[in-house]
Amino acid sequence: MTQYIVRRVGLAALTVVIVLLFAFSIIRLIPGDVVQLMVAEQGYAADVEALRRQPGAVGMVSSMGWYFTKHAAGVYSARPPVRPYRPYDPKEDVARVEAQERPPLVEEAEGPGVVETYTIVYNCEGQLEQGIVIGRMEQDSGGRFLAHTEPDQEAFDLMAGSEFVGRRGRVRHDRQQRRNLFYPD
């Protein structure tokens, strides 16, 4: 009888632990929950204490974002910076990018092309819906094209299952749909 009671109590305790672990993991999925914030604050506090003990050292605190889809990292030191802080001005980068030579856009593309970048669009049910390709024509001016893929499962599987950048294919302009279509080789 005693063994039966001990076994039942042990199973009940194990069940409670499993339920608590599951509940804790669900709570941890709440964006910006208290546990996430406390863990991050403890990391910063520990880093500050260590840097105060070793003024020449450099420390890094790493954390996950609110939805666990972003990563955050901070690098800290007690040393003053080599050069003073200067706020980032995106106009400098925009001017540099705008000064670069760009290939012409081919609105009605016909012929062989190479994929430079691509994306896959999924519908609400998680099914592949369409592929979008940006690439360069292999002939003439080497112009850039924007194209869709046909809603073909084989093409979607190829795009989703392997690296598609650099893949060669044919681009055809569909006059009825008024868009370019890319057919991978």
Cα–Cα distance, 80 to 82 (Å, whole number): 7
Mean pLDDT computed over 3-30: 55
H helices present in 29-152, as ranges: 34-53, 90-99
pLDDT at 115: 96
Give pLDDT tens digits for 163-174: 999 999 999 999
The tens digit of pLDDT for each residue in 97-134 reads 888 888 999 999 999 999 999 998 888 888 888 899 99
Residue type, 83: R
Position 67 scores a pLDDT of 61
Which residue ranges make up each domain of the chain? 2-77, 111-184
Residue 41 neighbours by CB under 8 Å, 6+ apart:
none
User: In CATH, which of 2.40.50.840, 3.40.640.10, 3.40.1190.20, 2.30.110.10 is domain 111-184?
Assistant: 2.40.50.840
pLDDT tens sequence across 58-78: 888 877 766 666 777 888 888
Q: Of all residues in the chain, what percent carry a pLDDT higher than 70?
A: 75
CA-closest candidate to residue 164, choices 142, 133, 138: 133
Instruction: Say if residue 81's pLDDT is above 70.
Output: yes
pLDDT given for residue 40 in this prediction = 59
Average pLDDT, the chain: 80
Around 94, how many Cα atoms within 13 Å sit in the side-chain half-sphere?
A: 4
